[in-house]
Amino acid sequence: MKKMIMTLAASAFIPAAVFAHGGDKAGPHGGNVEMPGPFHTELVMDENQEVMVYLLDMNFANPVIQDSSVAVQWRNKKDSVSFKCAPMHNHFHCIPEKKFPLTGELAVHATRAKAKGNEAVYKLPLRFR
């Protein structure tokens, strides 16, 4: 019991931003945000099913492409579609090899400034939780 009280008391001093990992509101570029590790990924999909992936720091800012990489794949239980990703000014632009249904999920594998993240999964259709 004493341990639980100490944990609760200590957590009162941790800023709420530490617990916010995106998903509930748009990122700085209007996209959906996930946290695959020591950084955030922001995914924006346009009407052509092309995807822009921004690799953001822990404060949802400073997108980088240097020493970074992105791989995107759409998948459902029966099929998958790979994307070809290329670095742009401050994000990765990813184009699917073919059109896909707007259900299933987009899986993003990213490395930001040499820091490798876990898989970030974006459920389709994209929406804020």
CA distances from residue 7 to 34, 57, 92 in whole angstroms, order as listed: 26, 27, 40
Q: Is residue 129 very low, low, confident or very high in pLDDT (cuts 50, 70, 90)?
A: confident
Higher pLDDT, 128 or 95: 95
pLDDT of residue 21: 56
Is residue 20 scored above 50 in pLDDT?
no
Higher pLDDT, 1 or 126: 126
Q: Is the full-model pTM beyond 0.85? A: no
Arithmetic mean of pLDDT, 38-44 = 98
Arithmetic mean of pLDDT, 64-68 = 98
Per domain, the residue ranges of the chain are: 2-124
Arithmetic mean of pLDDT, 40-49 = 98
Q: How many CB atoms lie within 10 A of CB 3?
A: 7
Is residue 11 scored above 90 in pLDDT?
no
**Rounded CA Rg of the chain:** 17
Tokens 């804020």: give the residue.
128
Q: Tell which CATH architecture fits domain 2-124.
A: Sandwich (2.60)
> Among 78, 110, 116, 84, which residue's Cα sits nearest to residue 97?
84
Q: Is residue 49 very low, low, confident or very high in pLDDT (cuts 50, 70, 90)?
A: very high
Type of residue at 73: Q
